Amino acid sequence: MERRARFEQIYKILDRTYPGATCALIHSSPWELLVATILSAQCTDKRVNEVTPGLFRKYPTPEDFAAVRPEVLANDIRSTGFFNNKAKSIVGAARKVVDEFGGSVPRTIEELLTVPGAARKTANVVLGTAYGIASGVVVDTHVQRISQRLDFTKESDPGKIERDLMRIVPQDRWIVFSHEIILHGRAICIARKPRCVECPLEKLCYAKDKTV
């Protein structure tokens, strides 16, 4: 099958399988999504969603986060792991957003990448989900693994994988593609034992370690 036609089939199957796919992190503003995404590093979305409601009640605005000492915030987010580094990033992000962006999370990738804690993956999550801006493709562990299995990329570096995906995936699909692949990674294409027999993409998948 011609490469582009195969990719088009994959997109259609993902759309049918995961209608309405979106970010699993619960938030009510771009700032809350930025905080939740920073907290999600090396942590499950489920645990982050357990922590953030109380966190946002205690610190309702970026100004509140900017005013707290990192060691105090660390105790509030302890259950998410790596809490000292995350607390420093969140307080730093709050101060940057308040001091340089008027309390609003910036809407460009260039500006957002200057915010502490906002590397490309985080910036793409916030811009795509909060603002609907397709600045790039979110590459988390699921997207990395499944993009390799589906032969979208042969790279292992997240930055190079993102560049490959941005060349292959149409820009109007960048946001939803990541959401769908992440859901697929959680539901079927599981890292330790992919459920290939149940996978709607099985006939289009070139992975050499399929399970039966």
Q: What is the DSSP string of 72-118?
A: HHHHHTGGGSSHHHHHHHHHHHHHHHHHHHTTS--SSHHHHTTSTT-
Helix (H, G, I), strand (E, B) or coil at 18: coil
15, 45, 140, 151: which is the annotated catalytic residue?
140
As given in the structure block, the two tokens for residue 44 are 């499950």
Phi, psi of 189, deg, nearest 5:
-85, 65
121 is catalytic: yes
As given in the structure block, the two tokens for residue 130 are 């909060």
As given in the structure block, the two tokens for residue 166 are 């941005």
Give catalytic residue positions: 121, 140
